Amino acid sequence: MRDFHVRAFGEELARINFLPEKRRKQAVAEMIDHARSKGVKLTRPALGVTP
Amino acid sequence: MVPYAELESFFSGLVATAQSRGITCAITSGMACVHFGVAATTKDCDVLCDAAKSDDFRALIAGTLLRGLSPNYRGHLSPPLDARWMRGGWTSHFTWRTKPEETCLDIFGIAPRGSSPWDRQLHGIYACPNVVAEMKRTNREKDWPFATALGGQMLEEGDLEGWLHLHDADILRRFMKHPAPTERLMGLRPLLGLAPFTDTLRVKRLLLAERAFWSELDELRIRIYQKHLRPYVSAVRRASSGRRDLEVAESHALRLECALEHLPFHPLRDYGLEQMVAEAKANVGVTVGADVVEWLPAAEYNFDGL
């Protein structure tokens, strides 16, 4: 499945996906916080109905 | 900025507290995907909650501060967190006004596209991979690889239901080294009858058709809810006199009044679940081809709880 993860999610997320849970969550946290610190907005739009 | 680790801990704690009080609930969607090994860059949280416990969960949410901030219903568009509407598939939305971005929580009583009772398959504070994967069959392209990744994981752990979630021709073929799909699974997903999936072009076309079908179904589902939401949102706006700082209890009472007037309890059932499936299949017959319709999933099973 690793090559599927690379194809679907990219190299970095694929690497993170195969880390042990604790390290995976730390890596996800770093990635999300880094994006947010650069101004990326990750709040979902207010739609009223969640897809 | 509230760090993601703190948000994750916050929502995990909320659900754990709820469970300790006898409120059956579970984290699903993005945060559940991260837990199961399919990283999602989301900071908001989706939770499934037993509709019968909606009052208790709402009271818990109302009293749960995040960095000293009390929650509010999100904007004017959230239906009330009330069993009558939760059982009809409505989702309620809450927010904590953290800076620079608010922190959002969406609450489902029914797992969209769920084929079995989500509340009997919990993995600790998380919904099970099968439920999470079914919820990823949306009208958004970006969600589908998550379903495939979860399906592959399920098969690697010996759960044959994973066959229902593989949406990639190469992955389907490669997973033939695992136990083959059963007759029951083939009944639910006719495409599995093409095992060992060596007719690649045919598999790819049917995968396109399946994805188009689930997308059509999700679009129709959203349209049905949104049709009722429009007058509801206007009513809530008027009733709240534009205030967005109402506490949960006050906002809830106001939303109940507006919802009783504008939001049917069971809009999907009222529309007709079989009708929804038939329409989605008919649309795929037009967009992809009439010959693929017989290969589409038996989605009548994917309205558990409704």
For residue range B1-16, list pLDDT tens digits in order: 999 999 999 999 999 9
* Nearest-neighbour CA in chain A from B222: distance (Å): 6
- Token pair 């079995």 is found at B116
Quick check: B94 and B104 in contact, CB under 8 A?
yes
pLDDT of residue B121 exceeding 80, the answer is yes
**Which architecture does CATH list for B4-120?**
2-Layer Sandwich (3.30)
* Nearest-neighbour CA in chain B from A28: distance (Å): 7
pLDDT tens digits for B151-196?
999 999 999 999 999 999 999 999 999 999 999 999 999 999 999 9
Complex ipTM: 0.92
* Nearest-neighbour CA in chain B from A8: distance (Å): 6
Q: What percent of chain B has pLDDT over 70?
A: 100
pLDDT of residue B240: 92
Tell how strand B91-96 and strand B103-108 pair up.
Answer: antiparallel
CB contact under 8 A, A29 and B4: yes
Domain ranges of chain B: 4-120
Say which of A13, A43, A44 has its CB closest to residue B39: A13
What are the residues whose beta carbons fall under 8 Å from the beta carbon of A8, sequence distance 6 or more? A14, B145, B148, B149, B168
SS in 3 state form for chain B? CCCHHHHHHHHHHHHHHHHHCCCCEEEEHHHHHHHHCCCCCCCCEEEEECHHHHHHHHHHHHCCCECCECEEECCCCCCCCCHHHHCCCCEEEEEECCCCCCEEEEEECCCCCCCCCHHHCCECCECCHHHHHHHCCCCCHHHHHHHHHHHHHHHHCCCHHHHHHCCCHHHHHHHHHCCCCCHHHHHHCHHHHHCCCCCHHHHHHHHHHHHHHHHHHHHHHHHHHHHHHHHHHHHHHHHCCCCCCCCHHHHHHHHHHHHHHHCCCCHHHHHCHHHHHHHHHHHHHHHCCHHHHHHCCCHHHCCCCC
Over residues B212-241, mean pLDDT: 95
Over residues B245-255, mean pLDDT: 93
CB contact under 8 A, A51 and B102: no
Kindly state the helix (H) or strand (E) to which residue B31 belongs, with its residue range: helix B29-36
A contact test, residue of B2, B31, B35, B43 with most A CBs within 10 A = B43
Which amino acid appears at position B90 of this protein?
A: W
* Nearest-neighbour CA in chain B from A5: distance (Å): 7
pLDDT bracket for residue B111 (50, 70, 90): very high
Residues of A with CB under 8 A from a CB of B: 1, 4-5, 8-9, 13, 16-18, 21, 24-29, 31-33, 35-37, 41-44, 46-51
pLDDT of residue B231: 95
